[in-house]
Amino acid sequence: MSPIMVIVVAVTGLASFTIPHYPTGLAIRLLRFLLLFLSAALGLFGLMAGLMAIALHLGALTSFGIPYLEPLMKPRPSLRDAVWRSAVFTFNKRPEYAEPLDQVRQKKFIRTWAPGVAEMARKESREGGDGGGEDGGEKGSRGR
Amino acid sequence: MGDRPGHGSRDEIYYTQIVVITAMIVFATGFLAAARVLVPVAGTAAWISVLIGGAFGLGIAVLAGYLAARFPDHSLVRMAERVFGAPLGKLIGLTFAAYCTVVLGLGSRESVLAMWIAFLQTTPPVLISAVFYVLIIYAAYLGIEAIARVSLIFFSLVVASLLVLTALASPVAVPGRLLPIVGNGLGPVMRAGFLAASYAGESIVVLAFIRHLKDKRGASRAMATGVATGMAIMAVATGFGVMMLGVRGISRVTFPVLETARMVGFGQFLERAEILFLALWFSAALLKLATVFYASITSVADVLGLRDYRPLIIPYALLGAALSLIPKTVLETFDYLNVFVRYSVWYTIALPVVLVLGAVARGLREGGDDIRDRDAG
C-alpha cells in the first residue's frame, strides 16, 4: 500500500462525515461502489465517466416539478444556499425557482439585538425602505 | 411524454445555458488540436487567425439567432420546411443532420485519441469510444435540458482548469515565439482565420434546439456571446501552445494543448498534472458530443416526422461510433480534420444565410401552430 493510498482512504473517510443528510450519505455510499469498480477498470477515465453519468442523472431529476439542479442554474440569491452556506438571517427571500406565493421569507433586519442592526433598521425605515420590517415583516408573517 | 426523464414541467433552457452550450460546442474538442491545424498555415499568428475566425463566427451566430427569433417555436428542420416547403426543407434538414454526424464522428475520434495518447495507451481506442458513446446515449435519452444543466456546472470547472493551466504556463512560456506578429503574412493569416471559422461555425448546431430557449429575443446575443467565449478560449490555448512549443514544436506533436499541460506542473509535488486537466476536458468534450448527437437525432426525427426521437438513439449512436472509427491512425484523423475545416465553413455560413434570405424574401415570421411541437404530446 502506497503512502498516497493511505492519504486517499483517510480523506475519503473524513469527507464522508461532512454529509449532513444521512439518507444522502447512504446513496453516496452505494454510488461510491460503482465509482470504485469503474476506477478499477478504467482508472481516472472511468471515474470521470461515472461522475458524468451521475451528474447527468442529477440534471434530469425533478422534485415536485422543479429540476434538482435548479438552484445552481442562475446566479441569483439562492446560490448562497447551494454552493456555499450563508448565514440564515440573510435569507430574506424565498427561492425564485420555487415560485412561492409570497416571495418574502422574513423581514430584512431580524437580528435587532446585534450591535448596529437596530439602528440600521430604524434608519432604513425612516428613509422609506422596509428595513424596519413594516412591509417585509407583515409579508413575512403572512408567509409563515 | 411529460413524465419522461429530461422532460420536466419546464422544458426550457436559460440564456446562460445557451451561452455555455455554444461555447462548449465551439471549443470543447477543437481547442485540443486547433494549433496543429492553424499553425502550418498562419505560423506564429495562429492565435490571431482564431480571433479572425471568431469574428466570422459572430456573424454566423447573429444570423442563426435572428432566425431563431423569427421562428421561435421551430427546430431547424421545421424552419427549413416553413421557408422552402416540405421536400426541400427535409433535404436541408438531412444535410444538417449529416453535418452534425460528421462533427460527432470527428469530435469523438479526436477526444478518444487524446485520452488514448495521454493516459490509456494500453486500452484499445474502441473501448474508450464505447464508454464515450454509452454516456452520449444516456445523455441523449435524458434530453437537452439535462445536458444544458450539467454543461453549466462543468463549464465553470473547465474554465477554472484552463485558468490554472495558463497561470502555471506563464512562467515557462516564451512570448518571443509569437514573433513575427503577422506570422506567415496577412494572406495566410486570413486563410487560417477562415479555417478557424469552421470551429466557430459549429455553433449552428444550437439551431436544432434553440426553440427551448426561454426568451428567443436573446438568441442572437446568447449565441454570439458563446462563440466569443469559445473562440477566446481557443485563441488563448493556441497562443500558449505557440509560446510553449514554438512553431516547429507544434508540428511535431499531436495535441499541442496536451503537450503544454505536460510541460507545466505543481513543482515536484503533483506530477503528471495533465491527466487532471484532461479529466475535466473529457467532461467538456462529452457534453459537446452529447449536444451534437442530440441535435442530429432530433433533426432526423423531424425529417422522418417522428414525435419521439428516442427510437433513433441506438442506431444513430452505432452510426456515429462507426464513423469515428474510419480514420485508422492519428495522421489519418488529422487528414480528415484538415479536409473538414476547409469545407465545413462554407456550409455553416450558407445554411443560416439561405434560410434568413428565404424567410425575408417570403416575408415569413413567427412559427404559428400548424406545425406541432414534437415533444408536446
Is A66 inside any structural domain?
no
Strand partners, B270: B266
pLDDT band at B377 (very low <50, low <70, confident <90, very high): very low
Closest residue by Cα to residue B60 from B285, B344, B298: B344
- The pLDDT of residue A133: 42
Rounded to the nearest 5°, which phi and psi values hold at B154? Answer: -75, -25
- The pLDDT of residue B91: 94
Q: Are residues A93 and A37 in the same domain?
A: no
Closest residue by Cα to residue B170 from B118, B236, B253: B236
Closest Cα in chain A to B136:
A53
- If you average pLDDT over every residue of chain A, what do you get? 78
What distance in Å separates the CA atoms of residue A36 and residue A55, rounded to the nearest whole number? Answer: 17
**Can you give the length of chain B in residues?**
377
The DSSP secondary-structure symbol of A144 reads -
pLDDT at A67 over 90: no
What distance in Å separates the CA atoms of residue B286 and residue B136, rounded to the nearest whole number? Answer: 7
B143 reaches A (C-beta below 8 A): yes
Is A65 inside any structural domain?
no
Question: How distant is the Cα of B148 from the closest Cα of chain A, in angstroms?
Answer: 8
**Contact A74/B14, CB-based, under 8 Å?**
yes
pLDDT at B37 over 90: no
pLDDT in tens, A12-33: 888 888 888 888 888 888 898 8
pLDDT in tens, B330-351: 888 888 888 888 899 899 999 9
The percent of residues in chain B predicted with pLDDT above 90, rounded, is: 37
Q: Which residue has the higher pLDDT, B309 or A86?
A: B309
Which of B16, B143, B153 is facing A55, going by the closest CB pair? B153
**Contact B139/A42, CB-based, under 8 Å?**
no
pLDDT at B7 over 60: no
B131 reaches A (C-beta below 8 A): yes
Instruction: Please give the residue range of the domain that contains residue A121.
Output: 74-143
Helix (H, G, I), strand (E, B) or coil at B367: coil
Cis ω for the linkage preceding B125 (within 30 of 0): no
Instruction: Please give the residue range of the domain that contains residue B308.
Output: 15-364
Supply the pTM of this predicted model.
Answer: 0.86
Is B278 inside any structural domain?
yes
- The pLDDT of residue B366: 67
What distance in Å separates the CA atoms of residue B206 and residue B30, rounded to the nearest whole number? Answer: 17
A73 reaches B (C-beta below 8 A): yes
**Contact A45/B120, CB-based, under 8 Å?**
yes
**Contact B149/A43, CB-based, under 8 Å?**
no
C-alpha cell at A81: 444556499
Closest residue by Cα to residue B297 from B280, B281, B315, B309: B309
Residue type at A96 in one-letter notation:
E
- The pLDDT of residue B368: 46
Structurally, how many domains does chain A consist of?
A: 2
pLDDT at B61 over 70: yes
Rounded to the nearest 5°, which phi and psi values hold at A66? Answer: -100, 125
Is B265 inside any structural domain?
yes
- The pLDDT of residue A50: 94
Q: Residues of B with CB below 8 A from A65's CB?
A: 8-10
The DSSP secondary-structure symbol of B373 reads P
Q: Are residues A84 and A136 in the same domain?
A: yes
Is B169 inside any structural domain?
yes
Q: Are residues A81 and A116 in the same domain?
A: yes
**Contact B145/A46, CB-based, under 8 Å?**
no
pLDDT at B8 over 60: no
Q: Three-class SS string for A72-130?
A: HCCCCHHHHHCCCCCCHHHCCECCHHHCCCCCECCCCCCCCCCCCHHHHHHHHHHCCCC
pLDDT at B102 over 60: yes
Is B309 inside any structural domain?
yes
Is B292 inside any structural domain?
yes
CB B65 within 8 A of CB B353: no
pLDDT band at A76 (very low <50, low <70, confident <90, very high): low
Q: Residues of A with CB below 8 A from B148's CB?
A: 59
Structurally, how many domains does chain B consist of?
A: 1
Rg (CA), chain A: 22
Q: Are residues A78 and A127 in the same domain?
A: yes
Is B376 inside any structural domain?
no
pLDDT at B22 over 90: yes
Is A69 inside any structural domain?
no
Is B103 inside any structural domain?
yes
Q: How far is CA B107 from CA A74, B282, B333, B360, in A?
A: 29, 11, 10, 34
pLDDT in tens, B62-91: 998 888 888 888 889 999 998 888 889 999
Q: Are residues A12 and A41 in the same domain?
A: yes
A121-135, B247-261, B302-316, range with the lowest pLDDT: A121-135
**Contact A65/B10, CB-based, under 8 Å?**
yes
CB pairs < 8 Å spanning A and B: 78
Q: Are residues A109 and A132 in the same domain?
A: yes
pLDDT band at B136 (very low <50, low <70, confident <90, very high): very high
B2-11, B155-164, B165-174, range with the lowest pLDDT: B2-11
Continuous H helices in B181-218: 186-201
Q: Are residues A80 and A138 in the same domain?
A: yes
Q: Are residues A80 and A139 in the same domain?
A: yes
Is B41 inside any structural domain?
yes
Helix (H, G, I), strand (E, B) or coil at A67: strand
**Contact B9/A56, CB-based, under 8 Å?**
no
B183 conformational bin, left if phi > 0, alpha if psi -120 to 50, beta if neither: left
User: With a CB-CB cutoff of 8 Å, which residues 285-314 of chain B face chain A?
Assistant: 286
Question: Taking the C-alpha atoms of B314, B315, B316 and B321 in order, what is their torsion angle to the nearest 10 degrees?
Answer: 90
- CATH number (domain holding residue B277): 1.20.1740.10
Instruction: Identify the burial level of A97 via C-beta atoms within 10 angstroms of its C-beta, where 0-12 means exposed, 13-18 middle and 19 or more buried.
Output: middle
Residue of A35, A39, A44 to mutate for B, most B C-beta atoms under 10 A = A44
Which range has highest mean pLDDT (A102-111, B27-36, B124-133)? B124-133
Q: Residues of B with CB below 8 A from A99's CB?
A: none
Q: Are residues A52 and A22 in the same domain?
A: yes
Q: Are residues A49 and A90 in the same domain?
A: no
The DSSP secondary-structure symbol of B120 reads -
Closest Cα in chain B to A51:
B283
Mean pLDDT confidence for B233-262: 87
pLDDT in tens, B310-319: 999 999 999 8
- The pLDDT of residue B269: 67
Mean pLDDT confidence for B291-315: 93
What distance in Å separates the CA atoms of residue B206 and residue B22, rounded to the nearest whole number? Answer: 7
- If you average pLDDT over every residue of chain B, what do you get? 85
